[in-house]
Amino acid sequence: MISNTKTMNQNQSGSKAYLTAIVMVAVLGGLLFGYDTAVISGAEKGLQAFFLGAPDFQYSDFMHGFTSSSALIGCIIGSALSGLFASRLGRKKSLIFAGVCFFLSAWGSMEPETFGLLPYGKPSWTLLVVFNLYRVLGGIGVGMASAICPMYIGEIAPTNIRGMLVSFNQFAIIFGQLVVYFVNFLILGDHTNPIIESIGNGFSKLMPGSDPWTITTGWRYMFGSECVPAGLFTLLICFVPETPRYLVMIHQDDKALQVLTRINGIDIARKTLEDIKNTITTKTEKLFSYGFMCIFVGIMLSVFQQAIGINAVLYYAPRIFSDMGMSNPMVQTVIMGVVNISFTLVAVFTVERLGRKPLLIWGSIGMAIGAFGVALTFGNPALSMVTMLSIMIYSACFMFSWGPICWVLIAEIFPNTIRGAAVAIAVAFQWIFNFIVSSTFVPMFNMHLTAGDNFGHWFTYGLYGVICVLAALFVWKLVPETKGKTLEDMTKLWRK
C-alpha cells in the first residue's frame, strides 16, 4: 500500500531523487573532463625531464609543448564526432564510449610500455609517439563528454531548473580540476619537481640535483590516478536512461513518456512529450534550417569562451606562479582551484534568477579588469600581491560566467532537430581555440623587446583583456536570453 502511494505521488509530481541521481552520474563526465585536462599541470615537468633523457632524439621545447597539449587534438576529434555519435548511437551510448576512452587513456599514459612491447622506463622516440596517442585517445573522450554531457542534462532536465543543472556540469569540471590539483600535490609529497633550464634555440636541459623519483615515477601516478573516476563513470552511465528527446527522435514515445513521468509527473510529462513531438517532425534537419545566425552565435560563444585566455592560466598555473616568485606554486594552484569552485557555485545558484546574459556580461567585464590588472603589474615585485589578486579576479569572474553559462547556452539555444550536429560544431570550435590559446600562451608570455623586459606578460594579458571587452559586446548585442524557455521554444525563436 505504501509502495503504491509512493508510485502515485511520483506519477503526479515526479521524483527529485531520480532526477538528482541521473544528473550526478552525468556530471561525472564533466569531472573527468576537468581531471583529464588539468592532470598535465602537475605532471608536465616530470614528463619533460623523463624524455630529456632519451638517447635516440633530442626532446625540444616545441615537442614538450605539443606533448603537453596533444590531448587537445583528441578533444577536437571527439567533439567533431560527438554529433554523429549522439545522433546515431544516442546520448547514453556515446557517453559510455567516452568513458572507455578515458579509462584506456589514463592507463596507457601511466604505462605507455603496456603489454611489454617497449622496454619499461626507457625513453625513446617510439615511446613518445605511443604516449601521445594515449593522450589523444583521452582527448577524444573529453571532446565527446564536453559536448554530450551538457546536451544530456539539458534534454533530461525540467525547464525551470535546466540552467542550474547544466551549470553543475561546469561545477564538476572545476571540481575535477581542483581534485587533480590536490591529487598531484599529494602524489608529489616530499618530492620536488625537476629543475629544468633553457639552453636556447628551443631546447632545455635537466639540471643536477633533480629528484629522480618525479622523473621516473611521479608523473605516472598522476596520469594513472584518473583510472578510478573513469572506471566509475563508465560503470554508472550504463544505469541511466536515454534522454526523452532522443527517444522521440527514434520513435520510442512510450519509453520517452516513462522517463518524463518519473522526472516531471504524468501531467507535465504528457504536455512535454506533445511539445517534443510537435517540433521533431523528422529525425534531423539541415544544419542551417534555422538560419546562419543560430549557428554563428553558438560557434562564437565557444570561441569567446576560449579566446579570453582562461585555459592558459589553468594549464600553466604552477609555472605562472613560479614566475611570480611564489615559493610553492602548487599551493597557490590549489588555492586558485578552491576560489574557482566557490565562484562556480555562484552561477549554479543564480543562473535561473538572474538569467544567462547578465552573468556573461558582468563576468566579461570582471575578467577584463583582472586581465588588465595582471598586464600592468606582472613582473613588479612590489606589486606581486596585486598581480596575484588580479589573476584570482580574472579566474573567479570566468567561473561564474563564461565557464558554466557558455555550456548552458550551447545545450539550450539549438532546436531539437539540429542540436546534435550544431553542438558538435560549436564544441569543436571551442577545442580548436583552446588549442590555439594553449599553444600560443608560452611563446607570447616569453616575448621580449629588449633583454629582460616584461613585454610578453603585458601583451598577453592585455590582449586577453581586450577580447573580454569584445565578448561582453557580443553577448549584449547578439545572444538571446533563454531563461525560462523550453527547448522546444528555441524552434520558435530561431524561426522568427
The mean of the pLDDT values for the chain is: 83
Highest-confidence segment of 99-103, 199-203, 427-431, 488-492: 99-103
For the stretch 313-324, pLDDT in tens is 766 666 666 666
**pLDDT confidence bin for 442, thresholds 50/70/90:** low
Check whether 29 has a pLDDT greater than 90. Answer: no
CATH code for residues 14-240? 1.20.1250.20
Residue ranges, CATH 1.20.1250.20, the chain: 14-240, 288-496
Query: Which CATH fold would you assign to the domain 288-496?
Result: Growth Hormone; Chain: A; (1.20.1250)
Check whether 73 has a pLDDT greater than 80. Answer: yes
Contact assessment for residue 88 and residue 81, using Cβ atoms and an 8 Å cutoff = no
Check whether 443 has a pLDDT greater than 80. Answer: no
Overall average pLDDT of the 398-420 stretch: 83
**pLDDT confidence bin for 95, thresholds 50/70/90:** very high
**pLDDT confidence bin for 2, thresholds 50/70/90:** very low
For the record, the C-alpha cell of 492 comes out as 520558435
For the stretch 6-24, pLDDT in tens is 444 555 567 888 998 999 9
pLDDT of residue 295: 87
pLDDT of residue 237: 94
Identify the CA nearest to 39 among candidates 249, 166, 218: 218
Mark residue 197 as left, alpha or beta (left: phi above 0; alpha: psi -120 to 50; beta: remaining).
Answer: beta
Give the range among 265-269, 446-450, 470-474 with minimum mean pLDDT: 446-450
Radius of gyration of the chain (CA): 23
Overall average pLDDT of the 103-126 stretch: 88
Check whether 286 has a pLDDT greater than 80. Answer: no
Q: At what angle do helices 402-412 and 384-399 cross, to 10 degrees?
A: 20
Check whether 171 has a pLDDT greater than 90. Answer: no
Q: Which residues contact 145 (CB under 8 A, 6 or more apart)?
A: 29, 30, 32, 33, 78, 95, 98, 102
**pLDDT confidence bin for 5, thresholds 50/70/90:** very low
Across 375-402, b (16+ Cβ under 10 Å) vs e yields bbbbbeeeeeeebbebbbbbbbbbbbbb
β partners of residue 197: 205
Burial of 185 (0-12, 13-18, 19+ CB in 10 A): middle
Q: Report the share of the chain in percent with pLDDT over 90.
A: 27
> H or E segment at 197?
strand 196-200
pTM over 0.85: no
**pLDDT confidence bin for 240, thresholds 50/70/90:** very high
> H or E segment at 206?
strand 203-206
- The residue ranking higher by pLDDT, 316 or 296, is 296
For the record, the C-alpha cell of 483 comes out as 531563461
Q: Report the share of the chain in percent with pLDDT over 70.
A: 88
pLDDT of residue 428: 85
Q: Which residue has the cell 526523452?
A: 244
Overall average pLDDT of the 197-205 stretch: 75
Contact assessment for residue 458 and residue 376, using Cβ atoms and an 8 Å cutoff = yes
Overall average pLDDT of the 377-399 stretch: 83
- The residue ranking higher by pLDDT, 169 or 315, is 169
> H or E segment at 458?
helix 455-478
pLDDT of residue 363: 93
**pLDDT confidence bin for 3, thresholds 50/70/90:** very low
Q: Which residues contact 140 (CB under 8 A, 6 or more apart)?
A: 74, 75, 77, 78, 81, 98, 101
